[in-house]
Structure 1
Amino acid sequence: MSPGRTGAGRASRTRGPGSTRGYGVTRWGRAFVDVVEGAGSGEPDRRRITQARRYFRDRHAHRLHIGAASVSASVRGSQLDPFDVTLTMRAVDAGTVVDLLRHRDAAGDLMTLTRGEQPTALGELLLPTESADIAADCTCPDEAPRCIHVLCVAYEVAAEIDRNPTTLLTVMGTDLSELLDAASRRSGDDRFGTEDDTAAAPVIDFYGTHATLPPLPAPPPMNPLMDLDGDALRSALRASGISPADVGETLDTLDLLYTRLRDN
């Protein structure tokens, strides 16, 4: 695996007056945030989420380091000394990811990723799907599984994923070169043949009296904000009289309302 990289350099760049920070503006970034916030596993703690979003916008996180299946940072909170946060992900296996991509006839997703895109099939295999996939630890006294400081660091990670999709690979314990190497080895095995080549593929009669139907698909949770033109939405909000400094908080409020509509 490749050594970890530090994302703090990009995360700490000075922004101009009135600029706002965003995270989860791509599907991969949003999916990562949804899992950390606990989407789909009960009612998320909106008070902590709201405060963590303010921490993110006000740049309370420092020394962000994204390594293989591990993220660390320090976050300024209510006390004099910052709190140390560590996120540990359940790492994926590169060979298994490549095998599943080939099974889905989606091996081309790896090349799509090199163009800076976020292919659907690869994202489904890489992204965490439940809160247990991400272990969090913070030195603050809050005993909640997702304290304000943990959420703030998760938003920083999502922002890095938004900027560079290959960050998700590092977060989940692999990298592009490892996946490409695994794909190359699998292609070599196919060229020389394997024992599986002689195995007869099962025949499934979907239209017979004893048909075995495929399982129903499990669509990912939808987020209406993701389907809107972000620039147009921000322009509309500013035209309605909202100051540029409040646009980020207004988008958070809209996200909360859409989440309540979806969950209820």
Structure 2
Amino acid sequence: MTDARGFAAFPRQRAGARFATSWWGRAWVQAMEDTSLDHNLLRKGRAYAKTGRLGPITVSPGRIAAVAETEYDVVVRVEQLTEAAWERFLDQVAAKAGHIAALLDRDMPHELVEAAEDAAVPLLPAVGDLEPECPCPDWGHPCEHAAALCYQASWLLDADPFVLLLMRGRGERDLIDALQLRQAPAAEPAGVPVVPAYAVGVPPLPGPPPYDVAYTPPALEPSLSTNAAVDVAALAVLAASAAARARDLLLRGELPDLTEHQDHIRLAADHDLATGPEQAVQAWRYGGADGLDALERAWTPPRRDLARAQALLESGWEGESPPRVEAWRNRWTLGPLQLRYGRDGRWYPFTLREGEWCPSGPPERDPSALLT
């Protein structure tokens, strides 16, 4: 049976609604926009996508489809991966436990896409990979209906990268089943024959340690000697912290190097300890080390990053005047809101409280998404 997923029609959106907030969703939109030769049709497609007039979307291997204005059957075709390409992709996913965990958490790691590209598996579409079809009289490529479908598809991709994999030819269930086969443990021997096992006998136990030897590690301070009491609460925090760091190591394959200050804030944020500045703790909870850096340091981002953010801000307010921005280095102030560009490529929101800018929410790749 052919895999297919249906999605309800998107309702009417506000004028400033953004498309593609995830990096893979933006790559999808970029591939469609780079194919177009008519920017006016793209503008019409963005506006049409927000009207609520595009019908339910069906995603299946090699295509996405919808009905526009109850009249036109709009289809965008996507090249499917070959069986050999899928095998190479599954090898890359199974090679690292963090890749599987990320996909199941509806994330598409940069590292996975790069590894797939190295194995000649193009997951993300490039210029010319999307083929729009629509019977409307508009000769644009894509027409406004097909462009609207692609823009709405970016919302689906943001929510679930498995939608992209389905377009490329494999559904989520098939992929998970194939990955489980790759992770199945090899068959172990049935065991040791009972006769040789009992013939070995029981080895003697070692003798007890001497009772008259006292030992105190000389490197430890008196407060940390073997006679000192153990702070059970502190030990529980350290154990929980170690478990969380071990989980991060399993998912990501590595851990960032933290300064003593950063690690102090991390412990306070992760375990509700009243040992760190409130703003720093909140910044860590929103964005980790990058969020803390956005709070504490100003820096000058590359011009291309700021130009891209300015374009996103303006396009997000299509049909309306964007708010006035007072820009200084990586900090953009828009009235009572300040956006700070982090070194991780995300914008962190801050609000003014008692004369100080305080972290006020999780970051976004698109600065206009923080103005809603």
TM class, shorter-length: 0.5 to 0.7
Contact 2:37 2:141 in 1 (8 A): no
Cα drift, residue 133 of structure 1: 2.4
Matched with 1:82 is: 71
Instruction: Assess, with a 3 A threshold, how the Cα gap between structure 1 residues 139 and 97 changes in structure 2: closer, same or farther.
Output: same
Equivalence map 1:172-187=2 (5 Å): 172-187=168-183
Contact 1:70 1:86 in 2 (8 A): yes
Contact 1:95 1:179 in 2 (8 A): no
Equivalence map 1:21-60=2 (5 Å): 21-38=17-34, 44-60=37-53
Aligned residues: 198
Cα drift, residue 141 of structure 1: 2.2
Matched with 1:116 is: 106
Contact 2:31 2:128 in 1 (8 A): no
C-alpha RMSD over aligned residues: 3.8
Cα drift, residue 47 of structure 1: 1.0
5+ residue gaps, structure 2, are 117-121, 188-303, 326-333, 335-366
Instruction: Assess, with a 3 A threshold, how the Cα gap between structure 1 residues 118 and 226 changes in structure 2: closer, same or farther.
Output: farther
Among candidates 62, 84, 97, match of residue 89 of structure 2: 97
Instruction: Assess, with a 3 A threshold, how the Cα gap between structure 1 residues 226 and 27 changes in structure 2: closer, same or farther.
Output: farther
Are residues 1:158 and 2:175 paired? no
Contact 1:98 1:107 in 2 (8 A): no
Equivalence map 1:1-264=2 (5 Å): 3-9=3-9, 11-12=10-11, 20-38=16-34, 44-76=37-69, 82-92=71-81, 93=83, 94-101=86-93, 105-106=95-96, 108-124=98-114, 125=116, 127-188=123-184, 191=186, 225=308, 237-238=322-323
Equivalent-residue separation in structure 2 for 1:90 and 1:46 (angstroms): 24
Deviates more, 1:28-37 or 1:162-171: 162-171
Instruction: Assess, with a 3 A threshold, how the Cα gap between structure 1 residues 106 and 120 changes in structure 2: closer, same or farther.
Output: farther
Contact 2:15 2:50 in 1 (8 A): no
Instruction: Assess, with a 3 A threshold, how the Cα gap between structure 1 residues 113 and 2 changes in structure 2: closer, same or farther.
Output: farther
Equivalent-residue separation in structure 1 for 2:40 and 2:311 (angstroms): 26
Deviates more, 1:23-32 or 1:175-184: 175-184
Contact 1:136 1:150 in 2 (8 A): yes
Normalised to the residue count of structure 1, the TM-score between the two structures is 0.61
Instruction: Assess, with a 3 A threshold, how the Cα gap between structure 1 residues 127 and 22 changes in structure 2: closer, same or farther.
Output: farther
Cα drift, residue 237 of structure 1: 4.4
Structure with the larger helix share: 1
Instruction: Assess, with a 3 A threshold, how the Cα gap between structure 1 residues 222 and 162 changes in structure 2: closer, same or farther.
Output: farther
Instruction: Assess, with a 3 A threshold, how the Cα gap between structure 1 residues 140 and 229 changes in structure 2: closer, same or farther.
Output: closer
Question: Match for 1:186: what amino acid?
Answer: R
Equivalent-residue separation in structure 2 for 1:2 and 1:108 (angstroms): 29
Matched with 2:357 is: none
Equivalent-residue separation in structure 2 for 1:132 and 1:226 (angstroms): 26
Contact 1:67 1:170 in 2 (8 A): yes
Equivalent-residue separation in structure 1 for 2:169 and 2:88 (angstroms): 13
Cα drift, residue 97 of structure 1: 1.1
User: What secondary structure sits across from 1:21 in the alignment?
Assistant: coil
Equivalent-residue separation in structure 2 for 1:181 and 1:227 (angstroms): 43
Cα drift, residue 227 of structure 1: 11
Q: Which has the larger radius of gyration?
A: 2
Cα drift, residue 86 of structure 1: 0.8
Cα drift, residue 90 of structure 1: 1.2
Equivalent-residue separation in structure 1 for 2:3 and 2:145 (angstroms): 25
- Greater relative contact order, per chain length (Cα 8 Å cut-off, separation 6+): 1
Contact 1:27 1:226 in 2 (8 A): no
User: What secondary structure sits across from 2:108 in the alignment?
Assistant: coil
Contact 2:61 2:167 in 1 (8 A): yes
Cα drift, residue 166 of structure 1: 2.3
Instruction: Assess, with a 3 A threshold, how the Cα gap between structure 1 residues 119 and 224 changes in structure 2: closer, same or farther.
Output: farther
Matched with 2:236 is: none
Instruction: Assess, with a 3 A threshold, how the Cα gap between structure 1 residues 222 and 238 changes in structure 2: closer, same or farther.
Output: closer
5+ residue gaps, structure 1, are 193-220, 243-253, 256-264
Normalised to the residue count of structure 2, the TM-score between the two structures is 0.45
User: What secondary structure sits across from 1:32 in the alignment?
Assistant: helix
Question: Match for 1:99: what amino acid?
Answer: D
